[in-house]
Amino acid sequence: MGTDDVEGEHSAHRIHSSVRQMKKKICLVLLVVCMVTLLLRWTMETSMETSNLNFFSPCSQPSPGLKPKQTNVVFLKTHKTGSSTMQNLLFRFAERHNLTVAFPIKECGHLFCYPRSFNTSFVLPGTLPANIITNHMRFNHDEVRVVMPHNSAYITILREPASMFESMFTYFKEICESFKNVNGSLEAFLKEPQRYYQPNEPFMAARNALTFDLGGDKDRPETDAAYIRDFVAEVESSFSLVMIAEYFDESLVLLRHLLSWDLEDILYVKLNMRAAGSKLSLAPGLTAKMRAWNYLDTKLYDHFNVSLWRQLAALGPACVAEEVSLMRQAQESLMQSCFGDRMPQLRSGKLIKNKRLRPWQPRNVDILGYDLLANSHGSSSQDHELCLKLIMPEGQYNEVLLDRETQRFS
């Protein structure tokens, strides 16, 4: 081998060695870059997660994309419990999200042939398949499940039985046969309720109305402890949430978390309220008598009142208080954006000339509604219509929404 050949071999060796060293350096640099990139990405993601946890705390609306909104809802609308306000909220939710609401057939009016037990034949075929059902019915779980999606959330609302019974008596004393013969005296009825009570009358308002609406036996003896226990358990297994009228805002906090809704989805205006003059002043001892007469409703209410506060405690008192405060602020802002300095006036329904806003007036009972001043409207005709829906009474909103459903599917 010549000298030139040896030098060439050495030169090639040095080149290969340099290349290998260069490759090692490049690999090392790439490794460092990858590690730094991974570290930065982990730091950013951790920071974002921490930020999201702070922003989307249990007291804030759920993080978008984590869980979709529940849009299939069964709301059992019980009598004189604030359920008209809840129905309005659900109607507006349905319109905003282009959902279908199940309505009763014409023969049933605005109720699913109440007080008959709910049957699938009571539903207007043109409003099926439905996302939401909320008109008055006597609950029949098996039949409701036939017409509603299997993943529907079941919600209802209860009210303290004594205050509810006073409201029922005042509201329905001209309709309910059991109330008619006491000359408007709640005291007289409660002194001898069995004398006046007609268990088979068409309108079931005179005893354990909550139990009846929920599909139970309103006349089951109080001594039948097993039935009462089993019925409470049945309601608990059927409903995802039992709201309490006296704690309506707190109940809505639970509803929002259950359904993964936004804050705007639970904003409301109170509807179907009686004027102060239509409320009875109760003599001492009447509250206890009303609770005793409605013993099944009392058992239901007491059980689910405790249940509600157990669920609220799980969220945390500070969390619930914060959400309630935010909701009330948002409601004020919504009304301000809708009506500005021309807010709707709460007044007797008898004085409201606008038929779209005049609530139904039972005989001898003054139901309040909202009256609009001249030129009260939002920034557009569409805004105006949406704002009207906030304060629209139950009967009129039923007609508007049913007409919308009919046009959609005709």
CA atoms within 13 A on the CB side of 172: 20
Report how many domains make up the chain: 1
The backbone region for 255, taken as left when phi is positive above 0, alpha when psi lies in -120 to 50, beta otherwise, is alpha
Phi and psi torsions of 347, nearest 5°: -150, 170
Query: Cα–Cα distance between 121 and 143 in angstroms, integer?
Result: 9
Q: Residue 138 in contact with residue 117, Cβ under 8 Å?
A: yes
Q: Find the CATH number of the domain harbouring 101.
A: 3.40.50
Helix H segments across 192-224? Answer: 193-196, 209-213
Burial of 282 per CB tally in 10 Å (0-12, 13-18, 19+):
middle
**Amino acid occupying residue 333:** S
Q: Can you give the residue range of the structural domain that contains 280?
A: 73-338+393-409
Q: What is the pLDDT of residue 263?
A: 93
The backbone region for 208, taken as left when phi is positive above 0, alpha when psi lies in -120 to 50, beta otherwise, is left
**Amino acid occupying residue 113:** C
* 15 located within any domain: no
* 373 located within any domain: no
Q: What is the pLDDT of residue 382?
A: 58
Q: What is the pLDDT of residue 408?
A: 74
DSSP H or E segment with residue 42 = helix 3-55
Q: What is the pLDDT of residue 274?
A: 84
* 2 located within any domain: no
* 328 located within any domain: yes
Q: Residue 239 in contact with residue 307, Cβ under 8 Å?
A: no
* 90 located within any domain: yes
Strands 368-371 and 345-348: antiparallel
Q: What is the pLDDT of residue 386?
A: 82
* 324 located within any domain: yes
Contacts of 400 (CB under 8 A, 6+ apart): 389, 392
Token duo for residue 358: 């005049």
Q: What is the pLDDT of residue 213?
A: 97
* 128 located within any domain: yes
Residues in the chain: 410
**Listed residue (136, 159, 152, 408) closest to 302, CA to CA:** 159
Question: How many other CB atoms are found less than 10 A from the CB of residue 220?
Answer: 15
**Listed residue (225, 236, 214, 237) closest to 297, CA to CA:** 214
Q: What is the pLDDT of residue 402?
A: 92
- 3-class DSSP state for residue 144? helix
pLDDT tens for each residue of the chain, 410 residues long: 554 454 545 554 554 555 456 555 545 544 544 443 343 333 333 333 323 323 334 455 554 446 899 999 999 999 999 999 999 999 999 999 999 999 999 999 999 999 999 999 999 999 999 999 999 999 999 999 999 999 999 999 999 999 999 999 999 988 899 999 898 899 999 999 999 999 998 878 899 999 999 999 999 999 999 999 999 999 999 999 999 999 999 999 999 999 999 999 999 999 988 888 888 878 889 999 999 999 999 999 999 999 999 999 999 999 999 999 999 999 999 999 888 878 888 999 999 989 999 998 887 789 999 998 765 544 455 577 888 999 999 999 999 999 988 887 66
* 285 located within any domain: yes
**Listed residue (144, 119, 149) closest to 134, CA to CA:** 144
